[in-house]
């Protein structure tokens, strides 16, 4: 069991990156881009580069620096990369992306961020028709659909495949002569376009552009496909108009995205500051200090401190070098794991009434351990504030979540959760407050399914209780 899985957090599935540029060391640029996206996946990484004829793939398990010890050496002008946290399919080397295939239409390398809701039914149909699968990932369904398409060009084959799949998918694909970006009709997962001096880049987040000194151009729209080649960038809306229904994942703003990114026109950092402000407006707690559970609650805690005038303090110190220890998941060692990662400062928290900010509570296990730790360090009272509403439903669109019965808010009231974690007060940000915080996005354009169970793309019965697409 990965040490980080002990912590009561959801995990984004992955990050994708691609570049088309005839004047730079493509492999190195992909590596730098993935390094900036490392927060989106820490289990595996891969880089595929091509000169239009041959493809060289380097991949491995672990963080990028562990997975890629040697960059691809093929002289190339296109490349795509992927960092992964597994949600569908187990965490093993077979499932590392990009997926590279050769078929009669040419060769492609596919990097996928998201989760397909109809992957299992498509896979069963394809297997019945003779298709062979070598991984347990839903992403392999995509490459099979592309290979079996009767469309004439590779771009048309990709569009044909994209119209058949459902759920969350942001794709970065290299073909024989182009770099292609595809975003699902709801836009669940982010994807944006940037420009180098002599080429173009695609990335899950804009922060990766800063790493390579690329200029941000715009976000790819839901239902859009962009094709990049020597003639520049071409755009097409591949999805049927009636299927385009923008539903951006609100958790990108709450937790997943890096603070220095802009997602669909909204500053992630500003949205988190706003969440802290809204938490104060909803609670007006009288306290001595405002603290965060680092690092996920820090920006919201700063927002609360600014709005309230209560000083911000760092009462928990994070050990940043213990994140990949493997431990047993029993309760005693779970508590030890949290204490290895976080330590309270008695001279900061002793005798204090503390507003403690975090982004979410999933199972409630970690929150209770941290409250206990702070009280043992002398904290007088803990007023816990969460910068999201209660999580009551599983996500099926690319976030690794528990089955619903394991989500504490699905089976307990807020008062019961407060008693469980032994906080003196507990407040979750209202949905209205969250919408005010993410002020540059229309509320109707956000996905709140994990809060209210309103799934905009139908979830098959075998996934309703959080059953994942695993075929092992």
What would the DSSP string read from start to end of 403-439?
Answer: -GGG-HHHHS-HHHHHHHHT-SEEEEPPHHHHHHHST
Residue keyed to tokens 């075998």 = 462
CA atoms of 295 and 227, how far apart (whole Å): 37
User: Is 192 assigned a ligand-binding role in the annotation?
Assistant: no
CA atoms of 460 and 452, how far apart (whole Å): 17
Q: Is the dihedral of CA 392, 398, 402, 408 positive or negative?
A: negative
CA atoms of 245 and 458, how far apart (whole Å): 13
Decide if 30 contacts 17 (C-beta within 8 A): yes
CA atoms of 398 and 418, how far apart (whole Å): 29
Q: Is the dihedral of CA 164, 154, 209, 11 positive or negative?
A: positive
Q: Is the dihedral of CA 335, 338, 343, 349 positive or negative?
A: negative
CA atoms of 41 and 22, how far apart (whole Å): 28
Residue keyed to tokens 């469980």 = 420
Phi, then psi, of 52 in degrees rounded to 5: 95, -10
Q: Which helix (H) or strand (E) holds 328?
A: none
Helix axes 331-341, 365-376, angle to 10 degrees: 60
CB atoms within 10 A of CB 102: 10
User: Is 395 assigned a ligand-binding role in the annotation?
Assistant: yes
Active site residue 385: no
CA atoms of 298 and 272, how far apart (whole Å): 9
> String of b and e for 333-369 (b: at least 16 CB within 10 Å)?
ebbebbeebbebbeebbeebbbbbbbbbbbebbbbbb
User: Is 450 assigned a ligand-binding role in the annotation?
Assistant: yes
CB atoms within 10 A of CB 155: 22
Q: Catalytic: which of 14, 192, 207, 385?
A: 14
Task: Name the H helices within 165-297.
Answer: 207-211, 251, 268-283
User: Is 359 assigned a ligand-binding role in the annotation?
Assistant: yes
User: Is 447 assigned a ligand-binding role in the annotation?
Assistant: yes
User: Is 296 assigned a ligand-binding role in the annotation?
Assistant: yes
Check whether the bond before 98 is cis (ω within 30° of 0).
yes
What would the DSSP string read from start to end of 191-228?
Answer: -EEEE-SSEEEEESSTHHHHHTTPEEEEEPPTTEEEEE
| Residue positions forming the annotated binding site for [4Fe-4S] cluster | 249, 395, 447, 450
Catalytic residues: 14
Instruction: List the binding residues.
Output: 249, 296, 358-359, 395, 447, 450
Binding residues for Mg(2+): 296, 358-359
């Amino acid at each position: 069991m990965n040490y980080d899985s002990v912590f009561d957090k959801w995990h984004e599935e992955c990050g994708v990156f691609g570049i088309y540029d005839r004047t730079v060391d493509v492999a190195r640029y992909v590596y730098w881009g993935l390094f900036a996206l490392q927060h989106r996946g820490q289990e595996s990484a891969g880089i595929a580069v091509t000169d239009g004829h041959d493809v060289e793939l380097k991949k491995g398990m672990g963080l990028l620096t562990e997975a890629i010890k040697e960059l691809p050496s093929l002289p190339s002008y296109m490349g795509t990369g992927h960092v992964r946290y597994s949600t569908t399919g187990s965490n093993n080397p077979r499932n590392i992306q990009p997926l590279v295939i050769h078929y009669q239409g040419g060769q492609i390398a596919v990097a996928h961020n998201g989760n397909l809701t109809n992957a299992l039914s498509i896979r069963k149909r394809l297997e019945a028709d003779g298709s062979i699968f070598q991984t347990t990932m839903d992403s392999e369904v995509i490459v099979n659909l592309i290979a079996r398409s009767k469309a004439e060009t590779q771009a048309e084959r990709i569009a044909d495949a994209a119209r058949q799949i459902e759920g969350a998918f942001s794709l970065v694909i290299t073909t024989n002569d182009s770099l292609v970006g595809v975003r699902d009709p709801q836009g669940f997962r982010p994807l944006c376009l940037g420009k180098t001096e002599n080429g173009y880049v695609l990335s899950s987040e804009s922060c990766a552009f800063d790493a390579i000194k690329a200029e941000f151009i715009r976000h790819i729209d839901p239902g859009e496909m962009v094709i990049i080649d020597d003639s520049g960038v071409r755009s097409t809306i591949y999805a049927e108009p009636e299927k385009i229904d923008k539903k951006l994942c609100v958790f990108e703003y709450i937790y997943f995205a890096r603070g220095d990114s802009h997602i669909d026109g909204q500053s992630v950092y500003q949205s988190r500051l706003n969440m802290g402000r809204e938490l104060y407006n909803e609670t007006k707690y009288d306290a001595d200090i405002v603290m965060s559970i680092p690092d996920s609650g820090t920006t919201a805690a700063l927002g609360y401190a600014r709005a309230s005038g209560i000083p911000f303090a760092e009462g928990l110190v994070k050990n940043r070098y213990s994140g990949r220890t493997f431990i047993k998941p029993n309760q005693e060692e779970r508590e030890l794991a949290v204490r290895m990662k976080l330590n309270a400062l008695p001279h900061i928290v002793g005798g204090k009434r503390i507003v403690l900010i975090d982004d979410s509570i999933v199972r409630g296990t970690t929150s209770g351990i941290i409250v206990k730790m702070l009280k043992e360090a002398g904290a007088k009272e803990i007023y816990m504030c969460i910068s999201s509403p209660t999580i009551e439903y599983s996500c099926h669109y690319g976030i690794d979540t528990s089955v619903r019965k394991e989500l504490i808010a699905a089976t307990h009231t807020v008062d019961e959760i407060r008693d469980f974690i032994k906080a003196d007060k507990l407040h979750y940000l209202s949905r209205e407050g969250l919408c005010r915080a993410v002020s540059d996005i229309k509320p109707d354009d956000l996905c709140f399914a994990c809060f209210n169970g309103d799934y905009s793309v139908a979830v098959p019965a075998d996934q309703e209780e959080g059953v994942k697409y695993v075929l092992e």
